[in-house]
Structures are given as C-alpha cells and as structure tokens.
Amino acid sequence: MPRCFSCGAQLDGRDKPGRADTCCACDADVHCCCNCEFYEPGSYNECREPQAERVLEKNRSNFCDYFAFRQEACISALPGTASKPRSNPLDALFKK
C-alpha cells in the first residue's frame, strides 16, 4: 500500500494519482517525486529514470509520465526522521 512521503499515512490504492490529488491526512501533494519509486537523492537529477525531465521541487506536484508509487514510505526525507546508519562489523575492530 502506498504511503505519503510527508506523514506516512496510507494513500488510496490507485496506480496513477491525478496531479491535483493530495494526502487526506496532511494535504501534501501525492503525484510528486518524493512518492515515486524512481526518486533517489544521490542520482543524476535525483531520479533513476533516465528519460524523465528534471523537476526542481521534489515535494510538489508535477507532470512526470514515469511516476509510479514507491513501495516503502519515504519519511526519512523529512528533517529529524532519518534512520540510524548501518553498523559495520569491521568498525568494532578499530575501536580503542
């Protein structure tokens, strides 16, 4: 079930939301990069779809034809909600 990038609320099960659709819990735009499976902050234009046009405001509604809901919530994009970094077993070897 798709979730809102902003608040984590479950969104209705439609595959392609309309450009004007918003989250019923927080009123955030639904058809935006932050809710898309191709959104990846470290990649070129922050999108893994090479043919997609550049979108500057990732949390705002857009006209991208490649939009597809991401399967997991992306609330980690919000300040203060980032998850802990993974622990590396080799780090224990180098502690004093």
Does any domain span residue 90?
no
pLDDT tens, 60-94? 999 999 999 887 655 444 444 444 556 677 777 77
Per the structure, the complete domain to which residue 42 belongs is given by: 1-77
Task: For 3-62, write each residue's pLDDT tens digit.
Answer: 899 998 988 766 778 889 999 899 999 999 999 999 999 999 999 999 999 999 999 999
Among residues 4, 48, 46, the alpha carbon closest in space to that of 24 is found at: 4
Whether residue 83 lies inside any domain: the answer is no
Domain for residue 11, yes or no?
Answer: yes
Considering only CA atoms, which of 79, 82, 19, 25 is closest in space to residue 33? Answer: 19
Is 22 contained in some domain? yes
Are 21 and 40 contacting, i.e. CB atoms less than 8 angstroms apart?
no
Q: Is residue 19 part of a domain?
A: yes
Residue 49 pLDDT: 94
Residue 59 contacts residue 28 (beta carbons within 8 Å): yes
The tally of domains found in the chain comes to: 1
Kindly list the distances between the CA atom of residue 15 and the CA atoms of 1, 66, 81, 88, in Å, as whole numbers in the listed order: 10, 11, 27, 37
* Contact criterion met (CB below 8 Å) for 71 and 15: no
Q: How far apart are CA 5 and CA 26, in angstroms?
A: 10
- The one-letter amino acid code at 80 reads G
